[in-house]
Every structure is written in structure tokens, then in C-alpha cells.
Structure 1
């Protein structure tokens, strides 16, 4: 009671102080980025939402956005101009019919999922159209949809070209004026096709309806690889590649194992004559393996793919950067692997995999019929009389129908691994010695990471949108990144040394050819390539911070006995990390981070060391990533409440005393009232069973968190900041979430948006925006000073001294209620339950991870 009174009294002061601290942080972020970054929030789009598809005219800089019931046009060179838009919605009758079939009213709109350029200045547009996909043509000269004679929109069926449901995974690519798609092909979303969706009717072919071809796939991306005559002496056909995740049929396991795949079809394929009529005769698929072999960690869920092909027409230079996560990890996890087209081609030309149905085991099959099944037509095959796939023998077609999967896998080691972050979208800028990864997060941020060899360095982490707006599109154009969410659009400078505003950031971009100029106090480009000894480590030592990439300064944390805190260690390499700390075992490692329960014995130095790739990509060197010094001091509120301020501490003591007096007065008042009440009537001994006061007891119906090996299931209370957003595992917390990046307090209650971070063609179509971002809760542990690095914004946890006493008192009250000796206390609880201020719902169980 005493602690409760004091905490209630202190609440307004803490809230004001936390608001001031948050506003100061936000102002610093805006000041750093607003010179180059431009953000268009939902207010700029006149109520149009659910942007899912981007199409950029690189010659003019016009960006076309597919949204719900609308198509928008934005001039990326002049974002201050209001966007133009066309409405293409569904009639009320059509919407009611969709709802009557069991679909939600939100989904029964027209979500534009396809935008592709056609010849003669037109765009091919397809939308879900209330679960009845339709397509039409957009005239660029007039920015209008093609009309019928009656004035309505001229439409054609979109089945096979566009998904039925807004959130279904989907991808499409235009190859020589012909559309190739990977989508669901029925209303229920149970049939999946990779098809040639346009062109002459007799050439519209698709995959075979067999689980050996497609097994519950989630389509991610597609790419058209065109070969020029100069780089194609054999006359090999152009190819279309599709990337997806599906349920593996080759593993005999009880659990459904998902695997990432790459599938290939040939552009000139028109199907077979008798076998595989109107079906692909060149459909082959292989497994993608993104695995860190030293640790054995495999990332098996593909979420996005970015294709780089330079110069045009030369497939040998093509690389596919894949964004992965893991089916087996409960926490957020992201990894990036890169696959070359030459490696994929080698696997496609290798042995086939076969399921022997008698024992359900996969074995290699020999011999393979001639000509080789699944290959594209070349000059040599045409000379042999196979001018078309219609001329292929039935034994070849039967073989490829039964054996679409290759025996070997396309393997790669991860370039980047980040735990605690969910990346949703990826774009890549290649440099002379490496690449810059532009990564969108599920919390509206853009991260830029430099990768040289197998070592990664975080360059910038830019908050762009609110917490509930995942990044679903990234386009790179003229040194800029066009970043989209379901509600907003941003233009961010993506290239150039001038991006890095201080010496430390410039040093981290040393691999990009950047160097800090002390004369100009700016980051400049240099023609001198980094030598063997000219590393990021050495460049950082030239800065005033006097610490290198692998020699961070020790950061002192003032803690109190009994405090539980999480010491972060930023792990970029897939290699393992280890901690050096005092010998007393009150620690637990969670991935690369370390959880510590503070005692007098384990005060001291904590050092995190990670393994990174050496110069020859095979050796590994130790890199010290973080160092902390834990020292004992009385609890304080840290920088959130002006850390170390004696004046603030005096204010807390004053309010604590006031709360103490208030608690004593209230206790006296309740006891006196109970004494008067007893004179009038007697309560039965089992008064608690009557239902009074149950609001103060834990409910047996309270939903519980799933059991896991995480620190949350063991009752630890940790506060941690990830991606610029504070997350807490306690049931209550101090700071209210105001978004990230300057869009606080926005609530779009009129837009119901689902979450789907990876739907292939325009990922993360929906994000739930029916939320309020200003809920204020109360802490049992207070997140304090932002004393650590910018990746997690780790904060010192401070806990009031009265917490332990309060817990002991609570235990005594429970014992009194159980053994019958606490009748007075039971009565007090009963009286408290009659006061409205103390009536509240039963406390909820702690979630695995909840945002403030």
C-alpha cells in the first residue's frame, strides 16, 4: 500500500520527464536526417492507403503506386507536388456479394497488386477486385484507365495474373511484353501456379498440379534474365527465375519442414504435344541453402530477393541477394546470403532427385534420357530436329514431369546475421570491394550495412515511419532509395560519402572509398583503394573517440543489487560470440546478448568477443564488440530523469514521503471504517468466496505465454530497445510508445490493415494501424540512461528499493489468507475492492515480447 501510494504520486513527474527525454531524442534524429530525407506521411495521400506495388519510370522519375481502390503517380524529383491518383474501386453490389461468400468487408475491395509497363505508353494494371481478379490498361499520356463504350472501365479477367486475396504471396515479371506470374489460381487459395499469363492463348502454359512441382509455396520474387547474342554463342534461351519457400517433400519428418527454392523456366517453352500439354517442359527447381557451417545454423525461410545484373545481357555477372529467417528460431532473426547465377546453372545441369515410391526414399536416378530433360533449346538441339518443345519425345517429358527437383543444392554462407531484428525488404548497391545492403525493417526503419568479404558494418539506422508501418518496397534510383510502407513514402539518400556526418561513420564506410577530412571536417571520397593495413579498425583509431571497430571503449554502468539487465553485443558476423565476466554464475547468454542478475560478487568487467572472417575468408579473428564495467550505486532513474541529479532525487524523496503519509492515512481510514461496519453486522468467514475482492487476485483464466527456453518463461524482467523501439517483458512500463522517427501520436483508425511482410510483388501489403501510440503504463523496473550503442539503445535498468519489501509483504498477506490468521487483512482486501480506484481487471501474463 505504501509503495503503491508513492508510485501513484510520482507518476505525473516521471511522465513529464520521460516525455522531455523522448522529445529531445526525436529532435536529434530529425536534425540528423531531415537535410536529405523526405517523408510523405498518410496525410499527403488524401486517405489512400495500403500501398503494395511500386513501378518506377527511370527515365522520367515518375513512381506509380498500387493501393486500395486507387493508383497513384508521384514525381520523385519534386515530392512537394501533390500526387495524382485514379480511383478504381468495386461496386457496392460486388462488395456485398464478396462478403456473402464469407470474406471480410476489408478484403472485399480492389487491391492493386500488379503494375507493369507495356509498349505504346501503357501500364498493365491488375487488382484483386473483391476476390474476382480483374486487369485493365492505364494510358500514361492522359493518366486514365481504358474505358468501355458505356463509359465504364474496360476490364479482362485477372485469374492467373493476380491473386484473389490481398495478403496472398505473389510475384510477377514482364519478359519481352509477356507476363509471367506465380500466384494462387482459385478462390480458396489452395491451388498454385507458375504460368505464362499473357500472350497467344495456345502459349499460355502453367505448372503441373502436383505436390512434387509446388507444395504449398509462398512466392517471394521473380527475375527475367536476358542474354545478348554476343554473350550467348550456343543460342541458349532466355530464362525466368522464381524464388519461393515451400514445404519439402524430400524429408521424411513428422514436422513440416520449409525450404527455400529457385525454379527456372525457358522463355520459348510452349509445352508438350501429348505429355505435358499446356504445361512447362522446362520447369526445374533446386533448394537454396543459406547456412553458417561452423555453427550449423541454417536459415530456411526466404522473405525477399534482390537481383543484380551488370552489364545488361551478360548473365555471368548476375547475383541474387536473398533475405532469410529461420523456421526454428522463436526470436526475430534475419540473414542475408548471395547466390550467383553460375552456381544455380551448375545445379540445374546436375543430377536429378527421385522419390522411389516403394520405400519413400529419395535416390539418384540414372540414366537420364536424351535430350536432357528440362533444358532450354539451343542451336545444337534445333539442328537435331527439336525446333520446339512440342517435338520433344514422350520419355523426356515423362521424366521431367516426375523429376522436377535437382539432387544438389545451391549453397552460400551468410554475409550478414542480425538477431532481434526482422528485416522485410532488401535492396543492394554494389561497390568496388563489396556491397551496401539497404534493409527495411518491420518497424518502419531503413538500415544501411556495408559488407566487405564476410564482415559487415552497420553504417546508418534511419527511422522513417511509425512502429506499425513495415517497409514493403525499396527502389534504388540515382543514388537515392525510395522506401515505401503501406501508408507512407520516403526518399532517402543512399549513396555518397557525404552521408556520413561524423568521423566514426566515415571510418566505417572505409570500404566504400570514404575518408575523413580533418581540414573540411567532412567525409570525402578518395581514389586510393584501401590496402591490407587500411581497415575500418585503423580508420576508427584516427577519430577522436580513440577506439577501433574491434576495440570499443569500456562503458560504465551504475547498478543496484538484485537488478536484472541485458548487456547487448551487436553480432553482425554469423560466427559465435563469447563473454568474459566475473566467475560468479548469475548470468545467462541469449544469442549474443548477456543477461545479468546483479550481486555484490559479480560486479566488475564484462567483455563480449565475436569471431569474424579473416583476410583470406577462411581464417577467423577475434573482434571485441562490447565492454562494460558494472559498479554499485544506489538506484536512480538515469538519464530519463536527468541521471545523477540530486534535485530530481530530492523531488522523488519528497513525493515518496507524501505517498507514505497518504498510505498511512488511507490505511487508518479503512481500518476505522471496517471497525464501524463490524458493529452493525458480521461477515461470514468465507467472505472472499462470495466474489468480492476477486479483482485483486490472479485469474485462473488469464492467458499464459507459451513455454519456451527464453528468459521470459523464467520470470525475468528485461527492458530492451530494438530498432529504435523499446520493448519490455514486464506487464507494466513507464515510457509510452510515440512511434519512431518523428511520427508520434498518429492513429489511422479508419484503416484496417493486416500484417504480411512478404507477399512477393510488393511485400508487406498490410500493417495494422488501428493502434494508439500513447498508452502510459507504470513500471516495476524503470528504463534509464541511453548509455549504450545506437543499434539497440540499451538502457540501464533501475528498480526501487521498496520492490523487495513489497514482494515480502505480499507473500505475508497470501499466507494470512491461506491459514485463516489474517482475517483483518481479508477484510481490508474486501474493503479495498469496493473502491472504484482499486478495481481493475486481473493482471495479464507476460508476453514473449511487447512494444511500449
Structure 2
């Protein structure tokens, strides 16, 4: 059903934002696609866009400010109006339990009035207020005494900055869907401005609105020359609410229709809508059974300009039951919505709490808009409707049937936030549409849709990943894209934007064709013919077909974790064929692989797709990979530049080791000469009461009567009950050398030594706490200094040969001398010494 072709070649990357001063912008060329980006110093939290299409001025609602940006010259500094909350009101807001950040004035509503003014509403520290913007002077109107001219914004603008709402202006009258109280627990769809007696709102019943999240609204005007029945203009509201007709806690997308001339009833439904009807929107792929029940955004487009009956609503959905991000687009026609609104009503029987269709419907039909027929019967206004009609409308706002559509595209692992649509071709010869989808990570995706086939054209990064796209407005072949911090302008219309044959081929379904004469992509009215038009166009580019991808060979190594991509725009599932092994996991349509020698080989992704009016899915190969090990070539040299670099590093380290060994040998020679009796330091250097830090040498103490402590210690050490013990006079403790807790650490400026032959550290840190003694060696120094701390055991020296003398005394004296020589240059330290704890090897 969808075509998930990704953009070939290098991914278009936008340089990070660098515009820090007002009026500065960043022009960028992305593969022939011109992008201009603008940030504004000191102004943030852009939430509302309003475009004057005739002048190209874009009005931005932000925190405590309103900006006017000339889209024809983004380099020009914007105009700015500050509208802040008085300090007393801000403190009162904080005192009511709101945060400092929320107690500002967030501009949430900008709408043109009939007289050319802009109606501006802000949260105003949880007390919504509205003002009037004079466009020529770009100032807020004031009263005669110089104060700002304001009126209440309750029911017109949200109280909280993050609350969802929608509004539309019809003949200078504002229609809104927003919260109507401080706590955000009351919701209204209302005519918010105009004569006081004509302001109507919804009935306070959960049958009408049940915890809604408002998304979008649209005015459908009837052209007088194409409206023979005299039907009234209608306003449509789109939102998601809790479904009262379902037993489960389920969210359901809705569409509500009210009529512009509705002024409420005379007795029943006074100042309430008498034409309030709502229906469920169903975005579902029947083949897979997947339903998308949360509405995120709606874009309204007339497929034939000037013909309201050709209006289509493109809805952006996600799923309540999907644990990960998933986005779908479904399109609903005005004809289908009108058909459901004219169908049967749904009723909840009080006896069994089940919804059923009512048996009798009064005349005239409840919820019907005024037309010539009703006026001929004497119903010139909703005030003249009979009570039985109004009572029926009050109790039966929900329609029995649903407005259903199959998704045009589905993207898993991606969260789309905003949607705009460009219709391709003339009204008489529509060649599909291009969907412009903003993501929660600051990207703009372009998807071509022809009939029921969707093809990914480009993925354009615009903002930082922390800036979601929250506004998209189409204007003169450009998309004005907004985030909470920035604005970007992207060229969107015209086949010439697709600078490569492959990208142009993916847009073949919407009328684009590659010209080999001048290497450009052009719009054409030539019928692409039947079959897979994208596949045929790709073959003309000497590229692999859409369902016949080339196999990519990947050099891997055991233990490597890789993600094999398989982009799919269809709601149908994707599956992988690969060598049977457990070290694989499918993430949406992609496949995560942990490489082993057993799972090398071919990996093929096949997705189920369907064409126009085709219910049975057809398989399509979307990606193919072959994994093989990275090995040296036949000559024995390294086949990768990285291996050559490793070899050079090893050679360099070898020579550095030789130099260091020479210096170490020279140092040990000097130490051996300085350890003679004539150069011996007095014993009181090791027994003074002064508090000092004891530093260990990187060399091992040597003496004539004993071999190296390193060699002795490791030859005679054993491991018992998880600890290392030694039968020599000196106990050596070690820690894991490969990144262990003592490896390559410092104490008092002395480096820790390690033995490269076995990977264990011979020296570690030891801290005696209050005594101030810090040993950078794990030798039990106190034992070798006469047993001042702990119990020193006499080593087993074996039988003594005749004439050999007291071997134990000589060994003790020699090793004590070696230790004294080791610390001869140091100050005295406090005694007694505490032995270091042993650590397991």
C-alpha cells in the first residue's frame, strides 16, 4: 500500500542555528532545496502563527510578546510588541499554586477581524485577556486614559500555556473550542464574540463533551452561486475525547458540526447549540486490524478551488495502545462527513445502558442547518424550533455511523506533530498530493501520495532535536515551519526541487518526471500508465526498482551490534529473512543484530503492500544486506586503513617502551649505589611523630641479600578462600589491572605501576584516614618495619647451611634497609602505621 523508499545519497543536514540577534537569518541550500531559518534574541515559546497572505507578513504569538516577520525578507529585523503581566498579578498567580514560568502572558490566539485589526488573546497569568492589534502601526489599542484596551478571554483562550485549543473566525465572529475555567475541567465549543444575545455554547453534559483534547477547526462557506438550497455555512471542530458509548477507557477521535446561524432555542437549549452533532472518525487498516484512535492534527484542503464540496480533511493520528511512537495519516471527505451527519442517531437506553438507534426522529430533522425549505415552513431562526426537536438534539448529539478511512501512510518509530498538504496538478487533473510532516525532533518529512501509494521523498532536519515542529503554514510554494524557538522557510512546491533522478522518480505518481536533456525534474501531464509507476521511473534512472533493492555488503566483526534499516510507509507488517540465530530483535520495521559467526549471511526485508482499491497485500522487498567478516587480505597486510593505524601505534609504543626501560635501568643503578651503608639515612626518619604522606616509588626495592619483591611475592603467593596469602616476609596484593579500581591512579603525585605481563596492578592506593598516611603501594610496610602494627610472622627460611650465619636477621635487615632507602628523601610520618587491607586478586 505504501512505498517506503528512503532518500538515496547523503542525508541533507542543516547547519545548527546561529542567528542570535533579531533580523539575522541562516540561508542554507540543501541539495537544491533552499531553506532559511530565523531565531529571535530574547523571544521564545512561539505557539501561534497568523499569516497575511497578501503582504506576506507572519505574526507570531510568543511569551509576553507579539512579532511581525516579513517572509519576503527574513533578513529584515521583525517588529515587536511587549505585552507582559503586571507584577502584582504575577504574584497572585504564583500564590494560587502555579509556577513562575506559567504565570506569564503566553499569546495563544491571533485572528483577523473584519475591520483589519487582529484579535489577540493571551493566558495572562491564568486569567485570559484579549486585546486589539492595529496592523498599520503595529500597536495594541489603548483607551482614552492611556490604558491598554482589554476584554476577558475566558472561553476564547486557554488558561494554561500547554492546554490544547482551536479557534476560527467566520464573518468577524470568533468560534472557539477551549477550557472555560481556572482548573481546566470545563470545556466549551462556543460562539465567543458578537452580540451578547447570540453567543451560544455547548450544553454541560458528558454526552456532548467528555474530557476533550481539541485539535483543529474549519469554516466551510457555501458559495451563493453554487448553493441552490440556501444551506447555511458550517463550522467543523476536530478533537479526541473519552468515549462514553464504550465500556472500556477508550479515546475516540471526533468531528463536530455546528451551523453559523444557530442562536439557540427559545425555552429548551437557551444560549446553547441546537445544531450540535458529532460523529466518530475511524482511521483503520482493515487488512491488519490496526486502528489509530488519537487525533493529533488536521489540515483542510479544497481539491477544487471554489468548490466547498471538494473539501478533504487530512488527519494525523497516533495510537493509544501502541507502546512506541507511531503515526498515521487518513483523509476524510466532506461528503462522507455530511452523509454520516444526515444518517441515524445513536441513543443510550437508561434501562440497560446500551447505545441504540432511536425509533422515531421528530420533524423537522434535529441538528439540521437552516435552508430555504425550513424557512418556507416558517422556521426562519433556531428560536422557532419546536421543543421536541430541541429535546431530541440535547439527548442525541452522537451519530450512529462513523466516518471511516484507510491510512495513506504509517510510520513506526517516528512521532509526527504537524501536517500540511500541497496538492499537485490542476483541479481537473489532480496527480495526488505531497504531505509535509513535522516531527517532534525538529525535522520536516515530505511524502508523495498518489491514489493509495505513499512514497518518502525527503527528510529535512530544520531545528535541534529538542525543538518539535508546532506550526506549518503553506504560502506561495513555501512552507513556513515553526518551533518553540525558531522559524524556518522551506521551498516545497515544484518538481524542480527534486535535484536527483532517484528523488524525482519517487515523485512520479504526483506528476514529476526526470528530463535527461537538462538533468532536471519537471511537472508533466503525461499519464504514467498502469502498474508500479515509481518502480518504472527508478529503472529509467539506472537504479534498482522499488521492490528490487541492491544487496549492500557489510563488513562486520563478531560482537558488533548493528541496526539494519527497512523504511516502510504502509500499515501492513514487514518481516525479515536471515540466518536462524537468537541474537536478532526487530525494532518496528528495522532489525537489530548482534554479530556472531553463526548469523553471517543474507538479510532481506519484505513488506506487505497494497495498491489502489486492493485489499489483499502484496509482498515487496524493501532492503537487502549481506554480512561477512572483516579479514586481512592475501598478502598478509592489513586490508583496512584502521588496521594500519593500529600497527603504527604498536610500533611506536614498542620504541617508547625501550626508551623508558633504559631510563628505568639507569635509575635502578643509581638507587643501588645510593643504598650502600655510607649513604644510609637514619632510622628516625621513619619513626618521627610528624604527620606526612608516604609516597610509593614506581620501582621495586632491591638489595644484595634479597631478590626483587615483585618476583618473590608472586612466586610464593597462594589464593585461599578468596584472598591472597604469602609465605614471604612481604605480602603483595593485586587488583585487576584492566581498568580496575587501582589501575593508573595517582596519590600524592606518585604514579601507580602495573605489570604488563599478567594484567594485574602491583601497586594500589591505600589511605589510613586520620593518621594522614597514604600508601601508593599494597606492600605491608608496617610488617617490614619491626612489627609496630599487626603481628609479623618469621618467614620459613628452611635449614641453615653451616657458616651461613643468621639468615633471618640478614634478610630482615636487608629488606628494612631497602625500604629505608626507598623513603630516604621523604619527611617523617606519624607512627604507629596501620596495615592496608588485603584485596582479592
Q: How does 1:420-569 map to 2 (within 5 A)?
A: 420-431=413-424, 432-533=430-531, 535-544=533-542, 546-569=543-566
Corresponding residue number in structure 1 for 2:393: 400
The structure 2 residue matched to 1:203, chosen from 198, 207, 231, is: 198
Q: Secondary structure at the match of 1:46?
A: coil
Separation of aligned partners in 1, 2:206 and 2:321: 23
Contact kept? 2:301, 2:313, Cα under 8 Å: yes
Separation of aligned partners in 2, 1:77 and 1:214: 42
The structure 2 residue matched to 1:670, chosen from 743, 764, 774, is: 764
Q: Secondary structure at the match of 1:547?
A: coil
Cα offsets for 1:146-188 (capped at 9, x unmatched) = 0122322110111111111110000000011110000000001
Instruction: Give how far 1:330 is off.
Output: 1.2
1:619/1:829 Cα in 2 relative to 1: closer, same or farther (>3 Å)?
A: same
Q: How does 1:744-763 map to 2 (within 5 A)?
A: none
1:643/1:48 Cα in 2 relative to 1: closer, same or farther (>3 Å)?
A: farther
Separation of aligned partners in 2, 1:397 and 1:213: 14
Corresponding residue number in structure 2 for 1:300: 293
1:61/1:562 Cα in 2 relative to 1: closer, same or farther (>3 Å)?
A: same
1:89 aligns with 2:193: no
Contact kept? 1:231, 1:313, Cα under 8 Å: no
Q: How does 1:28-67 map to 2 (within 5 A)?
A: 32-33=29-30, 36-42=33-39, 45-67=40-62
Corresponding residue number in structure 1 for 2:363: 370
1:649/1:522 Cα in 2 relative to 1: closer, same or farther (>3 Å)?
A: farther
Q: Secondary structure at the match of 1:553?
A: coil
1:142 aligns with 2:137: yes
Separation of aligned partners in 1, 2:265 and 2:12: 67
Instruction: Give how far 1:88 is off.
Output: 0.9
Separation of aligned partners in 2, 1:150 and 1:326: 54
Separation of aligned partners in 2, 1:585 and 1:554: 23
Separation of aligned partners in 2, 1:262 and 1:222: 9
TM-score normalized with structure 1 length: 0.73
Gap runs ≥5 in structure 2: 1-9, 18-26, 425-429, 633-638, 658-736, 745-752, 766-775, 792-834
Contact kept? 1:582, 1:603, Cα under 8 Å: yes
Corresponding residue number in structure 1 for 2:153: 158
Q: Secondary structure at the match of 2:763?
A: helix
The structure 1 residue matched to 2:274, chosen from 281, 289, 294, is: 281
1:651/1:250 Cα in 2 relative to 1: closer, same or farther (>3 Å)?
A: farther
Number of residues paired by the alignment?
A: 658
1:127 aligns with 2:122: yes
Corresponding residue number in structure 2 for 1:810: none
Q: Secondary structure at the match of 2:265?
A: coil
Separation of aligned partners in 2, 1:297 and 1:222: 26
Q: Secondary structure at the match of 1:396?
A: helix
Q: Secondary structure at the match of 1:405?
A: coil
Separation of aligned partners in 1, 2:484 and 2:241: 26
Separation of aligned partners in 1, 2:147 and 2:644: 71
Separation of aligned partners in 2, 1:392 and 1:580: 66
1:291/1:682 Cα in 2 relative to 1: closer, same or farther (>3 Å)?
A: farther
Corresponding residue number in structure 1 for 2:601: 604
1:183 aligns with 2:178: yes
Contact kept? 2:114, 2:172, Cα under 8 Å: yes
Contact kept? 1:306, 1:322, Cα under 8 Å: yes
Higher normalized helix content (fraction of residues): 1
Gap runs ≥5 in structure 1: 1-21, 636-641, 684-823, 831-852
Contact kept? 2:778, 2:836, Cα under 8 Å: no
Which stretch shows the higher mean deviation, 494-503 or 215-224? 494-503
Separation of aligned partners in 2, 1:49 and 1:612: 43
Contact kept? 1:670, 1:828, Cα under 8 Å: no
1:391/1:535 Cα in 2 relative to 1: closer, same or farther (>3 Å)?
A: same
TM-score normalized with structure 2 length: 0.74
Instruction: Give how far 1:829 is off.
Output: 8.4
Instruction: Give how far 1:36 is off.
Output: 4.6
1:332 aligns with 2:332: no
Q: Secondary structure at the match of 1:230?
A: helix
Cα offsets for 1:423-481 (capped at 9, x unmatched) = 00000011222110000000111110001122111111111111111111111111111
Separation of aligned partners in 2, 1:288 and 1:150: 51
The structure 2 residue matched to 1:236, chosen from 222, 231, 239, is: 231
The structure 1 residue matched to 2:100, chosen from 105, 113, 129, is: 105
Instruction: Give how far 1:556 is off.
Output: 1.4
Contact kept? 1:226, 1:313, Cα under 8 Å: no
Q: Secondary structure at the match of 2:399?
A: strand
Q: Secondary structure at the match of 1:673?
A: coil
Instruction: Give how far 1:597 is off.
Output: 3.3
1:233/1:654 Cα in 2 relative to 1: closer, same or farther (>3 Å)?
A: farther
Q: Secondary structure at the match of 1:285?
A: strand
1:461/1:353 Cα in 2 relative to 1: closer, same or farther (>3 Å)?
A: same
Separation of aligned partners in 2, 1:153 and 1:527: 56
Contact kept? 2:499, 2:520, Cα under 8 Å: yes
Separation of aligned partners in 1, 2:293 and 2:389: 32
Q: How does 1:567-578 map to 2 (within 5 A)?
A: 567-578=564-575
Cα offsets for 1:249-299 (capped at 9, x unmatched) = 11112xx21110000101111111111111001101111000011111000
**What is the root-mean-square deviation in Å for CA atoms of aligned residues?**
2.8
Separation of aligned partners in 2, 1:655 and 1:174: 75
Instruction: Give how far 1:310 is off.
Output: 4.5
Cα offsets for 1:532-559 (capped at 9, x unmatched) = 2571111111224x31221111111222
Q: Secondary structure at the match of 1:511?
A: helix
